[in-house]
Structure 1
């Protein structure tokens, strides 16, 4: 986080029985994290690559939403990309279990939030 100039730290809570807590990222720092944080340095292998892709792709989708004017083809492209993003998020494991070639899943379908559903299924209608 220092390399991308974002203040972030873990600390033991004084009021919550010494449980670990962390700094909340706000506004610009959150965007810097999505855009620049090197996840693959901390989560190795294909899983780290896919999680980093989720973060970077989400940032790209966010930038599209921030534009003042979009063409119909840009809206269609956004809709396709956001649906691909959700599919990558909940992609099941691929290949033979416990083999060297197995590509592990990322998250379960149950981890999709109502926000993600609205993001992929309804926001394109309003653009």
Structure 2
């Protein structure tokens, strides 16, 4: 990390057995993806494999932001990268000839699924806008709202007998009512209730 001029370190949290590490952001992540050498951590063969995984992903990152990238070629590149990501182990474990692979199919994330199966189509249809025009923020906001609704506006799948309802059903019911009132303008037709606070008079 010193070679690529990135400040990074581990430290143990005071009074606990937990370890923390420096969180990389923005340009620092790009520098690490492009330049970090795993040869200082692993043997030459494995370091080469992981270095290639990181460098190829960095190239995908650069290509996906360019409006000159060919979507068909990009699709092939993402599939090749996924094959590399899923490099299987070879040989029998605990033997001299055993070569450990990289990741398993269960390690594939939804973001990786989108990268390989949907992003080339997005690029083909909307490349003139570039991917910078798209954002996951609305999806994250929706997830935040539904998590909040689960804890604040549902019984959390609780209740007894006939009163018991699925939390998902309760959230959808709440959202449907909110949409209805918003579309009909019902919220603006009635004044908000006034809250009256009564203070108790202290006895002398």
Q: Which residue of 2 aligns with 1:6?
A: 6
Q: Which has the larger radius of gyration?
A: 2
Report the CA distance between 1:69 and its aligned residue. Answer: 3.0
Alpha-carbon deviation of 1:96? 4.8
CA RMSD of aligned residues (A): 1.7
Secondary structure at the counterpart of residue 11 of structure 2: strand
- 2:107 paired with 1:111: yes
2:37 touches 2:47 (CA, 8 Å); kept in 1? no
Gaps of 5+ in 2: 124-204
- Structure 1: stretches of 5+ with no match in the other structure: none
Count of residues in correspondence between the two structures: 123
Structure 2: distance between partners of 1:82 and 1:99: 33
Higher relative contact order (CA 8 A, sep 6+): 1
Selected match of 2:71 from 69, 72, 75: 75
Moved over 4 A (4+): 96-99
Deviations 1:38-93 (A, max 9, x none): 012212143222111110000000010111333xxx22111111111111111222
Q: CA deviation at 1:99?
A: 4.4
State the shift of 1:11 in Å.
1.0
TM-score normalised over the length of structure 2: 0.56
Shift of 1:104: 1.9
TM-score, with structure 1 as normaliser: 0.86
Q: Kindly report which structure 2 residues correspond to 1:49-68, keeping only aligned pairs within 5 A, or say none.
A: 49-68=48-67
